[in-house]
Amino acid sequence: MTAVNLKKILNDANKNNYAVAGLVVLGWDDALAFTQAADETGIPIILQAGPSCRAHTPISILGKMFRYLASQTKTNICCHVDHGYTLDECYEGIDSGFTSVMFDGSKLTLNENIKISKKIASRAHKHNISVEGEIGFVGYDNGKISEGTNIEDAVSFANKSNIDAMAISVGNTHLQTSKKASIDFNKINLIEEKTKIPLVLHGSSGIPVKQRKQLARKTKVAKLNIGTEIRMTFGQSIRKNLKNNPKTYDRLQLLKPTIKDLTKVTKRIIKQIGPN
């Protein structure tokens, strides 16, 4: 299947009352597992290259890898740069084959965030590439706390930045290892009453499954980013394999079982929020 942009994949989700998982990639093994899960379920996904992934592997290589995996998969795949903090990072993603980029200007003033997001969108849209922006800071578990999205700021950002999807802070937190988030559905409803743009929640590993389903079916939240939950699965899988195979030293033999375990967990996650 040809890779699609974020606007296409999220508009389809909003129209049909489901959400798409933004799956955080760290390397070939998990990216392969994610696309196998999409292939086996027929549910679209978003492959995401975040800052850690890009620090480990050049973005030009990641763009080719994501595009190759998308071409081998029967369902829609969006190839996405997650948390680009500068113009150059987003421009590099645009030039490297990605179908979507995220500019994270959540630490900037509203006007500066709008200005830079609009500039990135202008360039991206010329190449049929989508742009995700963020308004309101999503914090980190045991780290800097969140600053919830201001509703009027969200309306202004959505109307003036020309972005295609808007990440908001409504009780979601990055790097949560347990599902303890309490999502402010009232704030989501107020935002979606005044905007038409698909909404995104980062840090969705910490959102209880029941709330994920409610978000997917009842709101305009069309993208739920999942990273920590899957990394935990990878860690548990490789520890088990090392324990059971103490004499194995070959990297490929040690990593191969993680693909099966990641595929299984990913299928469960995307079925929870995907099309009925």
| Secondary structure in 3-state letters for 73-108 | CCCCEEEEEEEECCHHHHHHHHHCCCCEEEECCCCC
Residue with tokens 């369902």: 75
Give pLDDT tens digits for 240-258: 999 999 999 998 999 999 9
User: In angstroms, rounded to a whole number, what is the distance separating the alpha carbons of residues 38 and 158?
Assistant: 30
Give pLDDT tens digits for 51-99: 999 999 999 999 999 999 999 999 999 999 999 999 999 999 999 999 9
CA dihedral (116, 52, 137, 24) positive or negative: positive
Q: Nearest to residue 47, comparing CAs of 20, 77, 90, 27?
A: 77
pLDDT band of residue 107 (cuts 50, 70, 90) is very high
Model pLDDT, residue 19: 98
CB 197 within 8 A of CB 165: yes
CA 203, 86, 232: angle at the middle one, nearest 5?
Answer: 25
User: In angstroms, rounded to a whole number, what is the distance separating the alpha carbons of residues 272 and 276?
Assistant: 9
Asked if residue 119 has pLDDT above 90, the reply is yes
Domains of the chain, start order: 6-273 (3.20.20.70)
Distance, C-alpha 182 to centroid of its chain: 19
Q: 130 pairs with which residues across the strands?
A: 100
- Mean pLDDT confidence for 15-28: 97
Model pLDDT, residue 38: 97
pLDDT band of residue 39 (cuts 50, 70, 90) is very high
Asked if residue 1 has pLDDT above 80, the reply is no
Q: Which residues have a Cβ under 8 Å from the Cβ of 65 and sit 6 or more positions away?
A: 28, 31, 57
For 137, which DSSP code? Answer: B
Residue with tokens 């492959």: 47
Give pLDDT tens digits for 131-181: 999 999 888 887 777 789 999 999 999 999 999 999 999 989 888 888 988
CB 44 within 8 A of CB 15: no
What count of other Cβ atoms lies within 10 Å of the Cβ of residue 161? Answer: 25
Model pLDDT, residue 208: 94
* Per-state percent for the chain, helix, strand, coil, to nearest 5: 50, 15, 30
Burial class, 205, CB count within 10 angstroms (exposed 0-12 / middle 13-18 / buried 19+)? buried
Q: Which residues have a Cβ under 8 Å from the Cβ of 182 and sit 6 or more positions away?
A: 171
For 204, which DSSP code? Answer: G
Position with higher pLDDT, 264 vs 180: 264
For 72, which DSSP code? Answer: T
